[in-house]
Structure 1
Amino acid sequence: MPDNLVPAAELARRSPVRFPNESPEYRAARTALLAEEIELRRHLERVAAQRRALPPGGEVIGDYRFEGENGPVSFADLFGDKPSLAVYSYMFGPQRERPCPMCTNLLGAIEGNGADIQQRMAFAVVARSPIERLIAWKKERGWTNLKLYSDLNGNYSRDYHGVLPDGSEIPSFNVFTRRDETIRHFWSGEMTGDSADPGQDPRGAPDFAPLWNVLDTTPEGRGTDWYPKLSYGA
């Protein structure tokens, strides 16, 4: 980012936005908050730039086998014609009757942006359930943009932290690159329970799920004991 940025507090003071019947106390507090929001936006941009500048990660050489809706595919096939690939490890293994609601909420938001995302990069959802089960769930959910794959031998899920050593599942988001026919790991969300702050669930930053960002704009916030469900039927 440029070094000659106008201080956030000054930009906040310049804001012309006002709302009917607001008090001077409200405007002063909102202006102070706006300065912090501008700083947050700038920090997110600095973090994104630092992420983009990462050196090459480890080469992907494992025995990874997948089955998609149209049959078996290799890891390289997941890229299609794109140079970058994101893989989300979906908590929907064969031991689960239904998939993880939190994962499903996040993927539902990505589904809504799937056509746009895949103009710039490849995006794959990998789970350990058989592909027939994944296809049935995709149909039930009404997803049309997400590409789901079954991890046939479980190697990918184990190597890239979709499965813990004790066999339990965790969500995992990994990004890979393909340059000069060499596939490398680029980035992964690495914030775990060990890095969570007191009173918070483990979460990355920025949070990919729009749900939480929207709730954070309200006085009630996201809360501490509410989580999305797969359905809200009566």
Structure 2
Amino acid sequence: MANGSALQCAEALVRKNGASQPNESAEYRKAREALMVEEIDLRRHIARVAALRRTLPPGGEVKGDYQFMGEASSVAGANPVGIAELFGDRDTLFVYNWMYGPKRARPCPMCTALLSCLDGNADHIRQRIAMAVVGLSPIERQIAFKVERGWKNLPLYADVNGKFSKDYHAIMKDGTDTAAQNVFVRRDGTVRHFWGAELGFETADPGQDPTTPPDLMVLWNVLDLTPDGRGTDWYPKITY
């Protein structure tokens, strides 16, 4: 990314852009160019946040007794693996905890929608980093839902003893499982936490869901482009 001091002001870029749409009015073009200034500023702010995230100092060393049962080891008598095995040959690991604990009859529809997006991009993601989807249900139950959804590329793991999910904020105080995003790094054989999504209900703005931007959900990003937006009374379902 270019040095911030060398960036042209957003208004100047808009003037150079020269975009227009068929049959638009002068009123529309004026409003659209004002919006474009905000879009440029937003793009730059997202880039600044990502750059700041990359400068985080080393996080806490991962020391817990974490045990995962993966799809390949789901046969009877197989032993669980530790977090180091989730890295494979990569040095960075993205973990998504989904809401599909043993007490849930069906997984969370929001998690399902997000994981459907990640499934389509998993092969691309794994060119650079490792990825794991962790749930509290037995691995056989998670695999059955994966087959039902037609997911092909998501590496599923069961948190055998629940300690990872508890430590990394995928279990709420009342014991209910919740979604969580965490990134880990491995340097010189030591696994450390790098970043975790920490924005929750306490930091949410009025009328907004507690999300960590930029939102991983393609669904919401597409709806944000439309005149009615996300709406206030609609959420995705597993089936329609």
- Specify the TM-score bucket, using the shorter chain as the normaliser: over 0.9
CA–CA separation in structure 1 for the residues paired with 2:163 and 2:21:
56
Q: What residue in structure 2 maps to residue 39 of structure 1?
A: 41
Deviations 1:151-198 (A, max 9, x none): 000000000000012101211000000000000000011110000000
Q: What residue in structure 2 maps to residue 218 of structure 1?
A: 226
Q: Secondary structure at the match of 1:146?
A: coil
Deviations 1:98-142 (A, max 9, x none): 000001111110111010001100000000000110111111111
Q: 1:193–1:202: 8 Å Cα contact kept in structure 2?
A: yes
Q: What residue in structure 2 maps to residue 144 of structure 1?
A: 152
Correspondent of 2:22 among 20, 23, 33: 20
Deviations 1:64-94 (A, max 9, x none): 0010011122110000000000110110000
CA–CA separation in structure 2 for the residues paired with 1:199 and 1:136:
36
**Segments of 4+ moved more than 2 angstroms:** none
Q: What residue in structure 2 maps to residue 183 of structure 1?
A: 191
Task: Normalising by structure 2, report the TM-score.
Answer: 0.95
Task: Note if 1:62 corresponds to 2:64.
Answer: yes
Q: 1:200–1:224: 8 Å Cα contact kept in structure 2?
A: no
Q: CA deviation at 1:13?
A: 1.7
1:7 aligned partner, one-letter code: C
CA–CA separation in structure 2 for the residues paired with 1:17 and 1:88:
39
Q: What residue in structure 2 maps to residue 83 of structure 1?
A: 91
CA–CA separation in structure 1 for the residues paired with 2:85 and 2:22:
56
Unaligned runs of 5+ in 2: 74-79
Task: Note if 1:162 corresponds to 2:164.
Answer: no
CA–CA separation in structure 1 for the residues paired with 2:174 and 2:22:
57
Q: CA RMSD in A?
A: 0.7
CA–CA separation in structure 2 for the residues paired with 1:149 and 1:187:
20
Correspondent of 1:173 among 181, 186, 191: 181
Q: Secondary structure at the match of 1:186?
A: strand
1:115 aligned partner, one-letter code: D
Q: Secondary structure at the match of 1:145?
A: coil
Q: What residue in structure 2 maps to residue 198 of structure 1?
A: 206
Q: Secondary structure at the match of 1:110?
A: helix
Q: What residue in structure 2 maps to residue 109 of structure 1?
A: 117
Deviations 1:190-210 (A, max 9, x none): 110000000111111110111
CA–CA separation in structure 2 for the residues paired with 1:127 and 1:7:
46
CA–CA separation in structure 2 for the residues paired with 1:19 and 1:46:
31
Kindly tell me the number of residue pairs found equivalent between the two proteins. 232
Unaligned runs of 5+ in 1: none
Q: Percent identity?
A: 59
CA–CA separation in structure 2 for the residues paired with 1:162 and 1:25:
48
CA–CA separation in structure 1 for the residues paired with 2:31 and 2:17:
13
